[in-house]
Structure 1
Amino acid sequence: MAPPNWRDLVKEKRERQQATIPKEWIILPEKLPSPEELNVIGFPESTERCGLLTPREIEITTIVKKGKHIGGTGVEALLKKIREGEWSAVEVTLAYSKRAMVAHQLVNCLTEIFIEEALKRAQALDDHLKRTGQVVGPLHGLPVSLKDQVNLKGIESTMGYASWIGDYPERNAVLADILESLGAVFYVKTNVAQTLMWVETYNHIFGRTVNPHNRSLTSGGSSGGEGALVAMLGSPLGIGSDVGGSIRIPAGFCGVYGLRPSYSRVPYSNCRNSLEGQDSVLSVMGPIAPSISAIKLFMQSIMSKNPWLKDPLVIRKPWNEGEYHLAEHGHGRSLCFAILWDDGIVVPHPPVKRALEDVKSALIAAGHNVVDWKPIKHFEICQTILDIFNAGATEDYATVCSATGEPVIGSMGLEVETEDDTPKEVPGISAYELWQVQKTRRDLRQEYMDWWNSSEDWARTGTGRPVDAIISPLAPYAAPPHGGNTYPLYTAVWNALDYSALVIPVTNVHPVKDARVARQEFLNDLDRMNHEAYHPQVFKDAPVAIQVVGRTLEEEAVIGMGEIVDKALDVQNSSLFPRL
C-alpha cells in the first residue's frame, strides 16, 4: 500500500481544525483588519470593529497584564476572583477561549482547539468549589495554553509534521498532569516550527504565526504560537520549550515575559520532541506570560508537586523562598548587574542599545551598581551546541518526514510558503567526534564559570561578591521580517552554559528615537550584514526585550532579580510620563 500523501493529510487536518472554531466566534472578513494593518494588538478590545468580547470578558482577559508590584492586577488577582466566587471558572475559560479565537484569526497562533472539553473541566472545578468551599489547587480555574508538543491524551501533537497527523497520545505529558492537579484548564495548543529547531514559526500543516505588534515581522520560534497568543492576551499563562531560545525569543519578540529554566528543573517526560536521545544540550519546558508574577506562580506551583517523583530526569530541588529573596545576593540590596552590550560577534541595532541603556539608568536610579560584562568565547560556546545538534539532525528530520514524503523545511522566509525549500544535508559525525565536542563544551562551561567567579576583581562589583546577574540582549535586533531571524547566539549561549534566563520587555521600536547610526568599521561580515538590515520603519512597533541571566539552577534568584529590574523600569517610566 502506498504511503499517505502529505498534502492530503494536511488538507484534511486544516478542515478539522477550522471546524473546531465555534461558528459564532468567526469574525466576518469585512470586519477583520486588512493585510496592510500591521499592528493588531488592540483589535480584540475594539467594540466597534471586533465586538466579540463583552466588557466583563475584556476585564477578565486584561487583569493579568501587570505584575504583582502593581496592586490589584496580575494572575493572582484573576485567581483570587475565581477563588472568592466573583468570577466562575466557566466564564473565565469562556473569555480566554473567545479571545484566543480572535487572536488566531489575526495571527494564526493555534493548532488544537478544544473549547467544549475545557468548559466541562471548568464546570467541574466550579462545582467542586461550590460543594467543598475549597479550590483544587493554586491554579484553580486558570486557563493554560500549551505548546503543541505537550501531549494531552486523545489530542494530536503533530509538532508541525504531516507524518504525525492522526497520532493520538494515550496519556498526558507529566507536566500536563501536574498542571491539571493544580487546577489548570487546558483549552488550546499553539503553533510551532516544523522540527522545533527554528527560531521562527512555520510548518506545512498550520502555516505561519505572525507578530501581533507588526504582522510583517516574525513572532519568533519555535514557541511562536505561545508568544503571539499571550501577547494578544488570549492566554494568561502559556507553556513553551527552549533548546536554543525558543521560549525567550517568542516572548521577547512579542513583548511578554518568558523563563528558560536550567536543565531538569521542570518535567519534560512524555512531551513530543525532535532529536530525542540527544542528552547533552537538553530542551527545557518553561512559562510564557504577561507578567513576572505568573512566571513565579508557575515555578512555585510545579515545584510544590514534587515533580522529581514523576519524571526521572527532574532534579530534587523544591522552590526555595530564600533564594527568591536573594539571600545569596545581599538580600537584593545594592546588587551588581553586568551589561553585555554586544557578544563580540554582532553589534545590536539602535533600539536594542536604547533598551540596554534604559535598563542601566533605571537600575542605577534604584540604587544598584551596573558594570560592563566582558564576554569570552561566545562563538566557540555556541559552535559546540550547533555541532551537537547537527550530529544527527538531518537523519532525525528525514526519518520523520519520510513516512509521507513531506519536505523538510529549509528556510523560514516567505518563499517557503509557495515552494519547497529543502535544506542542504548536514553530514553526521562519529560517536567519538561527538564526544570530543561535548568535552570541549564541558571545558568551556568551566572556563565561563571561572570568569564569572573572578568578576568581583575585573568588574569591580563593589559588593564583595561576583556579578549578581548579566543583562543581555535577546537578539541583535527586535523582531525581524519573516525569515530574518538568523542569529540566535544571544540566547543559545545561555543554553550551552545551562544558565537560567528571564526575558523582560523594555520598549518598542520607534523610528525617530531609533534612527540608523552610521558605522565605518565592522567586527566581521555577520556584523556588517546585521547593520545593513536595519531600517527603522521596517521594525516599527516591534517590542524590544532584554534577558536577566543567572547561574545554573538559579531560577528563584533570576525571578527575584527580574522583579527588581522590572520594577525599576516601571518607576523610571512613570517618572518620565507621570500619570495625570
Structure 2
Amino acid sequence: MVLWTDLAVDKRRRQLDAIPRAWLISPPSGILDVTAVPESCGLLSDEEITITRSSVDILLSKLARGVWSSVQVTTAFYKRAVVAHQLVNCLTEIFVERALAHAAKLDEHLKRTGQVVGPLHGLPISLKDQLCIEGLETTMGYVSWIGKYADKNAVLVDVLIECGAVPFVRTNVPQTLMWPETFNNVFGRTLNPYRTSHTSGGSSGCEGALLALRGSPLGVGSDVGGSVRIPAAFCGLFALRPSYGRIPYCGAVNSLEGQDSILSVFGPMTASISGLKAFVRAVVHAKPWLKDPLAIRKKWDEEEYMLVEHGNGNGLCFAIMWDDGVVVPHPPVTRALRKVKDVLEKAGHKVIDWTPFKHNELGNLTRDIWNAASAEDYKVTTASTGEPVIPTMELDVTGPATIAPFRPARPGISAYQLWQAQKTKRDIRKEYLDRWDRTSSVTDTGRPVDAIIGPAAPYAAVPHGKNRYTNYTTVWNALDYVSSIFPVTAVNPALDSKKGPHIFISDFDREIYEQYDPEVFKGLPVCLQLTGRTLEEEAVIAMTEIVDMALAKHAKNDAKL
C-alpha cells in the first residue's frame, strides 16, 4: 500500500513541474510583508504590472476593445499568480498551456467577428479547489482525493466559460474546508501576504492571498460560515456572500454533502469593487437555473441595483453593530466602524445602532447542525489512505491541541435533535425578520434599516492557528442574509493602542481582548461587513459601492489637507 505521505510528495512534485522554469524566482527571506515582491522581483514587464494593477471594469473594457488581448492579460496574471504561490503557497492546479490556448481562441473570435464571447470576455478568473474542471484533479485538501480527475466541469465553470472568462488557476483550501485558516496534508499552509506569520483566513484563504498579491483580478470562493468573507477581510479585499442558490453550485465537490439546512454558496472575491457586480450580473444573466436544479430563478434586477426600494440610494439608513454581544472587537475594528459612521453621515445618510439578536444562539445552532455527522464525513473521506484528520491549525503544538469550536469536539446529535435545531433556526429567522421590519419606527425614512454594517471578525488577521471565532460571519449564513466585505483601513499602532479592559462578556471575550498587541497586528488590513436581507445581492452590491465611495471621498479630502 502506498503511504499517504508519498502521495502528497508526488502531488507537490507534479505541481512544481507544471510551473514554467522561467517563472521561478528566489523569494526574499526575513521579511513579513511580501506584497511588493511581485513587482520588484523582475519577472513582470512594466506593461504586465500595469495590467495586473488594473481594476476589473478597466480590464473588461480593454479586452472588449482589443487594446489588450486575452493571451496578454492571462499571461500577466499567470506570471503574477505563480510568483504569489512562491511567496505564500496559494495554488493547487496550474495549467498554463490549457488556459493560454483558451485565451487564444477568445482573441481569435474577437478578431474574426468583432464581438466578445460574453460579458467576462478574456478575463482570467481563479477558482477555489472545489470547482471541478474537466480533466484536472480535485483534491480539496484531501490526500485521499489525489488522482480524482473530473470528467466534467462544475456548472459554474461552464457558466463562466460561456460568459467568456478564462479559468486559469485553482487555489488551496484547508482539509475538510471547515476551518477559517488554510492548511492541509497535501499542499501545506498558506500565508498572509501582508504578514506571513499570520493567516490569510479560510476556507477560501488562498483566493484571499492570491488576490491580495494581484495574482488574479477576480476569484471565486465558497462560504458556509464565513469562508469567503473572512479571507477577504484578512487580505483587504471586496467580496460577496450571496443567498442560497443565487450562484450555481452543482457539480462542485464539498464537505458535509447532504447537509442542506445551511448551504454553502459560491461568491466573488476581488481587489476592485467593480468585480462584484461584473461577476454576479454575468452569472445570473446566463440563467444558471437551467443548468442547476437548486439555482434560484432570479434574473439580474437593475431596479434593485438602483435601490428603488431603498430611497433610490438617497438618505439611506444604516445600522452599526458595534459588537455581537459575545466578543468585543479589537481597537482597529472599532476605529473602522467609527470611521464608516462618520463618512456616511457626512455623505447625508443616517446611522443608528444595531442590537444583535440571538447571535450566540444562532452560532451554537449552526455548529450543532454542522457537527451532526461531520466527524463521520471526515473519517469516511480519509479512510482510503489512512491520512490523519488534522486536529488543529496551531503551529508547534506541544500540549493538547486546541480544537476550535467549529470542528466536532463531541459526538454528533441525533436525527431528532438535528430536526429540533433546524426548527429553532427557522423560527429565529422569522424573529429576526420581524425585528428588522420594526426598525422602520426609528429610521426616519419610512422603511426599515437599509443595511447593517459590522465587523467581519473581532480582529484583523491573527497569527497562524489563532482564528477561533467566526460568529460575526456565521450568523448571516444561518439567516441566509446577503453580506459583502469592503476594506476600510489598516492597523496603525499610533491610532490603535490597546485600551483598558472593558467589562468582559465571558472568559472567551477576555481571551480575545488579551490577544491584541498593536505591533503584532501592525499594517494588516481592516475590513468591515455590510449585510442586507435574503436575495438582495444587487442592493447589497450597490450599497457597498455607496460606502466605498464615501470612504474614497473622505480619503481624497484628507489627502488635500
Structure 1 residues 476-517: Cα deviation after superposition (integer angstroms, max 9, x where no partner): 000000011100000001001000000001011111111100
**Aligned partners of 2:399 and 2:283: how far apart in 1?**
42
**Aligned partners of 1:421 and 1:436: how far apart in 2?**
29
In structure 1, what is the equivalent of residue 433 of structure 2? 449
In structure 1, what is the equivalent of residue 259 of structure 2? 278
Shift of 1:416: 6.9
Q: 2:21 aligns with which of 17, 20, 23?
A: 23
Kindly indicate whether residue 417 of structure 2 is the aligned counterpart of residue 433 of structure 1: yes
SS in 2 for 1:131: helix
Letter in 1 for 2:51: I
**Gap runs ≥5 in structure 1:** 65-74
In structure 2, what is the equivalent of residue 67 of structure 1? none
**Aligned partners of 2:402 and 2:90: how far apart in 1?**
22
SS in 2 for 1:357: helix
Kindly indicate whether residue 243 of structure 2 is the aligned counterpart of residue 252 of structure 1: no
**Aligned partners of 2:227 and 2:447: how far apart in 1?**
32
Shift of 1:274: 0.2
In structure 2, what is the equivalent of residue 344 of structure 1? 325
- The CA RMSD over aligned residues, in Å, is 1.5
1:34-433 aligned at under 5 Å gives the runs 34=29, 36-46=30-40, 50-64=41-55, 75-415=56-396, 426-433=410-417
Letter in 1 for 2:535: L
TM-score normalised by length of structure 1: 0.94
Letter in 2 for 1:396: D
Letter in 1 for 2:393: M
**Aligned partners of 1:556 and 1:522: how far apart in 2?**
38
Shift of 1:421: 9.1
Letter in 2 for 1:462: D
Letter in 1 for 2:28: P
**Aligned partners of 1:528 and 1:340: how far apart in 2?**
19
**Aligned partners of 1:156 and 1:401: how far apart in 2?**
17
**Aligned partners of 1:20 and 1:520: how far apart in 2?**
53
Shift of 1:578: 2.5
SS in 1 for 2:309: coil
TM-score normalised by length of structure 2: 0.98
8 Å contact kept, 1:409–1:421: no
Shift of 1:417: 12
Letter in 2 for 1:57: E
SS in 2 for 1:475: coil
Shift of 1:33: 1.8
8 Å contact kept, 1:174–1:268: yes
Letter in 2 for 1:569: L
Kindly indicate whether residue 527 of structure 2 is the aligned counterpart of residue 529 of structure 1: no
**Aligned partners of 2:413 and 2:321: how far apart in 1?**
34
In structure 2, what is the equivalent of residue 517 of structure 1? 499
**Aligned partners of 1:421 and 1:554: how far apart in 2?**
38
Letter in 1 for 2:460: A
SS in 1 for 2:80: helix
**Aligned partners of 2:315 and 2:101: how far apart in 1?**
50
Shift of 1:195: 0.5
**Aligned partners of 1:413 and 1:299: how far apart in 2?**
36
Cα distance change on mapping 1:519 and 1:421 into 2, 3 Å: closer
8 Å contact kept, 2:268–2:276: yes
SS in 1 for 2:196: strand
In structure 1, what is the equivalent of residue 554 of structure 2? 572
Cα distance change on mapping 1:116 and 1:151 into 2, 3 Å: same
**Aligned partners of 2:285 and 2:560: how far apart in 1?**
40
**Aligned partners of 2:401 and 2:467: how far apart in 1?**
19
8 Å contact kept, 2:368–2:412: no
8 Å contact kept, 1:409–1:416: no
Letter in 1 for 2:252: C
SS in 2 for 1:502: strand
8 Å contact kept, 2:331–2:498: yes
8 Å contact kept, 1:339–1:472: yes
**Aligned partners of 1:161 and 1:38: how far apart in 2?**
29
SS in 1 for 2:289: helix
**Aligned partners of 1:474 and 1:417: how far apart in 2?**
31
**Aligned partners of 1:272 and 1:80: how far apart in 2?**
33
Letter in 2 for 1:453: D
**Aligned partners of 2:68 and 2:274: how far apart in 1?**
20
Structure 1's consecutive aligned runs of 4 or more residues displaced over 6 angstroms after TM superposition are 416-424
SS in 2 for 1:428: coil
8 Å contact kept, 2:392–2:401: no
Shift of 1:402: 1.0
Structure 1 residues 59-87: Cα deviation after superposition (integer angstroms, max 9, x where no partner): 110011xxxxxxxxxx1211111221211
Kindly indicate whether residue 10 of structure 2 is the aligned counterpart of residue 12 of structure 1: yes
Letter in 2 for 1:475: A
**Aligned partners of 2:444 and 2:175: how far apart in 1?**
47
**Aligned partners of 2:444 and 2:31: how far apart in 1?**
50
Shift of 1:347: 0.3
SS in 1 for 2:97: helix
**Aligned partners of 1:20 and 1:202: how far apart in 2?**
21
Cα distance change on mapping 1:418 and 1:128 into 2, 3 Å: farther
Letter in 1 for 2:544: G
In structure 2, what is the equivalent of residue 69 of structure 1? none
Letter in 1 for 2:416: Y
Letter in 2 for 1:26: L
8 Å contact kept, 1:212–1:232: yes
- Alignment identity in percent? 59
Shift of 1:15: 0.3
Shift of 1:418: 13
